[in-house]
A and B are shown apart, each in its own frame.
Chain A
Amino acid sequence: MNKVKEKSKTINLNLLNHDKCKSWDYLQDICMTCSICSSSCPVSGVDDFDPRKMVRMVSLGFEDELIQSRWPWICTMCGKCESVCPMGIDIPGIARKVRSLRDRDKVPGILHKGLSMALKTGNNLGLPDEDFIFIIEDVAEEIAEEPGFENFKAPIDKKGANLLTTIHNKLVNTHTEDLKHWWKIFYVAKEDWTVPSKNWEGTSWGLFTGDDNAMKKMAGRVADHMKQLEVKNLLWPE
């Protein structure tokens, strides 16, 4: 109790400016403070975060305080709060908007690094193309050693294939085993599929950092692949 009181003292009420976030269109001003969002949120209580507080801060115009705060970054953007909110307030939208207003070099480390790397090199890890192809072929060879999959190959940059898939960087880093399950399904289902040799990253962390331009760029790369390889269907697992 005392701890909380002390903390709230640090908010300077003279800074309260209702005009500040007025133009934001997440319905924040019709919040009636019921707290179902906070009672349902999986990360409520982490570092004292809860979604109701975030919504109220936006409604009251505490924009700068929120931008500086860790709270919007604790949100996982799962959307549970929005689905239970009786007023239909777009709470994850608010979290994303606040994140978008932070200077890019102040975006939390891993997200910032991963996204900059992806924009620069085509994947969050900065994995060189040769290494990527080596890993893909290596995993394909391991599958080919299993009974029933003798002729298995991973088709890279196959023009005119039926299905293009992107790759989550984790799957060519620590979780290569997980590639096998769906590739094996492709094989058995006789799917005509392919994977790009460059810009294969399937995650798009602009979603989490509130960076629309980055998202556009990542999506544009996938669209380019489809055009160049003349592929009509896309599987984009995150």
Chain B
Amino acid sequence: MERMIDQNVIILGGGITGLTAASELAHLGYHVEIIEKSESIGGHAVRLTCKATEKCVKCGACKVDEKIQIAHSHININIHMGCTLTGIKNGERISVYYRNQQDRKSSSNAEAVIIATGFHPFNPETKPYGYDRFKNVITSLELEKRIKEHNDIKKPSDLTPPEKIAFVQCVGSRDSSLNHLWCSKICCPSSLRMAHLIQTKQPGADISFFYIDFQNCGKDYQQFQTTIHKNFRTIRAIPGDILQTKNNHLEVSFFDPVDHKAKEEIFDLVVLSVGITPNQGNRDLSEKLGINLTEFGFFDTHNQTGMTSKAGIFAAGTACHPMGIEESLSSGIKTAFRVVEYLKNGK
């Protein structure tokens, strides 16, 4: 028999963060309702491919499968798919109003709400790299999807394997002109693991990295650095622009800091390592909930409590700032415990 506590927590967003918080709370006996905008749960993590080569490389992507399973099977968890929030009212309890895609309105009452609505991958259309115009310029998320669905790497233009691949790092991150001053934390480790995977699947693939510096590669940084520079060509410069030449080849202009020359080089696939940006819907959601966003548009959880500016409303995961799966998991767990503390201390 599961324990049951007569208190309800509503979680907005069923990505890895929301699902983790849900499973923690459910195990402790709280009743949880997940309101998920899309028609499935798991968020971005389910779209990521396993990047294991000879062994698991701890990318974290598979962690979400277990959480999805728990969310579907746990008696204390109720999922409302395809639903969006329409408003809330603060009374004795917090009343949350939402509607589904057929416009059917519902409401639930809760003692606490966790915002776990996640992030938006940067759309690189505005960058001078021809994304959306040149078929063989793709985002890292599109590459993930390709490998996950087909277990191979193909150029979108003719579905043949690419021979010369360039990764461009920090696209949409660390950019004050976009008001994105943050490092997205995930794109270095993720794209580097992806590049290793490509070399394993397609030995001889010629892979170059255009980068500023490699960040967040974990505790074994020194070893990571050594293998990066051994296995790939690494160029410490972000390209100026990309043009398309014949046969859908891509001419990348960059300054080579080693021999101090401006160069144009041909690649047949360019992968833009896009960063984590706030969801466009954050503004609207924050207004409906009557809470604050940070100056960058993420949800503001002040003073380490995980709570927003309104009592009983918490936020976690990439809804608050950029992070990877591991950190999203721990953010989900921490926030669940803070919710419990808050509920126990009598609100």
Residues of chain A whose beta carbon lies under 8 Å from any beta carbon of chain B: 1, 4, 30, 32-36, 38-41, 44-45, 48, 50, 52, 84-88
**Can you identify 7 A-B contacts, CB atoms within 8 angstroms?**
A35-B257, A36-B239, A39-B239, A39-B240, A41-B262, A52-B257, A86-B175
- Which of A30, A34, A88 is in CB contact (< 8 Å) with B238? A34
Interface size class of B (residues with CB under 8 A): 20 to 34
CB <8 Å contact, B238 and A36: yes
Residues of B within 8 A of A32 (CB): 174, 212
CB <8 Å contact, B212 and A44: no
Q: Give the most central of A30, A39, A41: most B CB within 10 Å.
A: A39
Is the C-beta of B170 less than 8 angstroms from some C-beta in chain A? yes
Distance of A45 Cα from B240 Cα, bound (Å): 14
Distance of A4 Cα from B261 Cα, bound (Å): 12
Distance of A33 Cα from B169 Cα, bound (Å): 13
Residues of B within 8 A of A45 (CB): 255, 260-262
- Chain B, Cβ-Cβ closest to A3: B259
Given contacts A39-B239, A86-B175, A86-B177, are A1 and B259 in contact (CB under 8 A)? yes
- Which of B174, B212, B255 is in CB contact (< 8 Å) with A38? B255
CB <8 Å contact, A44 and B255: yes
Distance of A52 Cα from B239 Cα, bound (Å): 13
Distance of A39 Cα from B253 Cα, bound (Å): 6
Q: Please give 8 more A-B residue pairs, beta carbons under 8 A apart, in addition to A35-B236, A35-B255, A36-B238.
A: A35-B212, A38-B255, A38-B257, A39-B254, A40-B253, A44-B262, A45-B255, A50-B260
Is the C-beta of B241 less than 8 angstroms from some C-beta in chain A? yes
Distance of A88 Cα from B254 Cα, bound (Å): 19
CB <8 Å contact, A4 and B240: no
Is the C-beta of B176 less than 8 angstroms from some C-beta in chain A? yes
Residues of B within 8 A of A52 (CB): 237, 255, 257
- Chain B, Cβ-Cβ closest to A43: B262
- Chain A, Cβ-Cβ closest to B176: A87
Residues of B within 8 A of A44 (CB): 255, 262
Q: Give the most central of B213, B255, B262: most A CB within 10 Å.
A: B255
Residues of B within 8 A of A4 (CB): 258-260
State the 10 A-B residue pairs at the shortest beta-carbon distance, nearest first. Answer: A39-B240, A40-B240, A35-B237, A38-B255, A86-B175, A48-B260, A45-B262, A44-B262, A39-B254, A45-B261
Distance of A41 Cα from B237 Cα, bound (Å): 13
Distance of A34 Cα from B177 Cα, bound (Å): 14
CB <8 Å contact, A1 and B258: yes
Interface residues of B in 237-289 (CB under 8 A from A): 237-241, 253-255, 257-262
Distance of A85 Cα from B170 Cα, bound (Å): 13
Q: Give the most central of B258, B259, B261, B262: most A CB within 10 Å.
A: B262
Residues of A within 8 A of B213 (CB): 33
**B73 shortest CB reach to chain A, Å:** 46
Q: Give the most central of B170, B212, B260: most A CB within 10 Å.
A: B260
Residues of A within 8 A of B261 (CB): 45
Given contacts A35-B238, A45-B255, are A86 and B260 in contact (CB under 8 A)? no
Distance of A35 Cα from B128 Cα, bound (Å): 14
**B338 shortest CB reach to chain A, Å:** 34
Distance of A45 Cα from B264 Cα, bound (Å): 13
